[in-house]
Amino acid sequence: MPTTSDAYVPSPLTILSEEERLFQQSVRRFARERLAPHVREMDEAGHVRDDLLRELFELGLMGIDVPEEFGGQAGTFFQSILAIEEIAKIDPAVSVIVDVQNTLVNNAIERWANHEQKKRYLPKLATSMTGAYALSEAQSGSDAFALTTHARAAGDQFSISGRKLWITNAVEAGVFLVFATVDASAGYKGITCFLVEPRTPGFRIGKKEDKLGIRASSTCELIFDGCLVPRANVLGETGKGYKIAIETLNEGRIGIGAQMTGLAQGALEHSLRYARERRQFGKPIGEFQGVQFELAEMAVRVEAARLLVYNAARLRDAGQPFVTQAAMAKYYASLIAEEVASKAVEIFGGVGFTRDYPVEKLYRDAKIGRIYEGTSNMQKAVIARALFESVR
């Protein structure tokens, strides 16, 4: 057994205030007690349980930094990151639902909506309504602003036509932030963001994707065919959609970093427990140096990812520049999540390759981290550009 001096001590950046620690503990308790028993069932069904989604709202986890006047918890962005990380330790699919709600949808509406829009949507988003963020299209993934979905002015309305792909929370959403171009000749400056409700005529949800991982999180195609949206539902200003997208995605990447860090921590914890339980040659496999070294490397990588994520989140809350740090956090956390989950499968051996144990699912869930909200190559491009600008 380790002595006190041998025990792992958190790094300064991972030390939380008392309020943050209590918040983290409450989310951890919910994830372990309420979420964990249903993870496999939801993965196989490809659907999050309605009762668990309601509990996310009841606990305030879908409106963490929404102001109290709009029914939210008036928390911080950093608390959102803590919640995303804790839930991802148990189920990254549920974690991304909380992530999109807080770092993209609520965040964009808080910053860009007028007072009437805030009064209409934020109380619902904080207490009962899931939101979705509809930017991606078949030909506009990494090139996010190569949109073909267009919006034509029609009196006091806009008529939206086009298709969106890979939209998270699409099945459950009560409001969609839809990006469309109102003036193709203006390039990215013609892009506008609209608040669109699912029952709007001319709008329907298309194919639900059958995915490798994060299966309980719905991911669907959206189809717009002359969808009439009131001018009052323009978020921000006409032509400012690109700015809304850039700013929210920069923050969303910290959320993905937290999701991937939580996933990796979950894989590490499963591995540690199994290494103590599984016996070979008369002793637990955790007593073999080869296994110990693997676990040590996993722990170092998880800690490094957590420091990057927390640093980016703290910078954001402090109003300091954080875009490069967000890209670093997202890039590295998604990289190590895949590596750590893979090592976890190997530590479990043959049973790790089966669905009877949780590490197989974490390995499948990890892959998307290097793809959505900006691929790894896009993050490296952001980081490299910042490096060159720093030496001018």
Within 13 Å and on the Cβ side, how many CA atoms surround 360? 13
Q: Which of 134, 1, 65 lies closest to 313 in space, CA to CA?
A: 65
Contact 193, 105 (CB under 8 A): no
Q: Are 193 and 240 in contact (CB under 8 A)?
A: yes
CA-wise closest residue to 101 among 140, 60, 142, 69 = 60
**For residues 105 and 124, what is the distance between their CA atoms, to the nearest angstrom?**
12
Distance CA 296, CA 391 (A): 36
Pairing of strands 219-230, 203-208: antiparallel
Determine whether 373 is an active site residue. Answer: yes
Asked if 225 and 74 touch (Cβ cutoff 8 Å), the reply is no
Counting every residue written for the chain, the total comes to: 392
Give the active site residue among 116, 247, 373, 389.
373
Alpha-carbon distance of 352 to 205, in angstroms, equals 36
**CB 306 within 8 Å of CB 264:** no
Q: How many CB atoms lie within 10 A of CB 318?
A: 10
Residue 213 CA to residue 277 CA, distance in Å, equals 27
> For residue 5, with 0-12 CB atoms within 10 Å meaning exposed, 13-18 middle and 19 or more buried, which class applies?
exposed
Residues involved in catalysis: 373
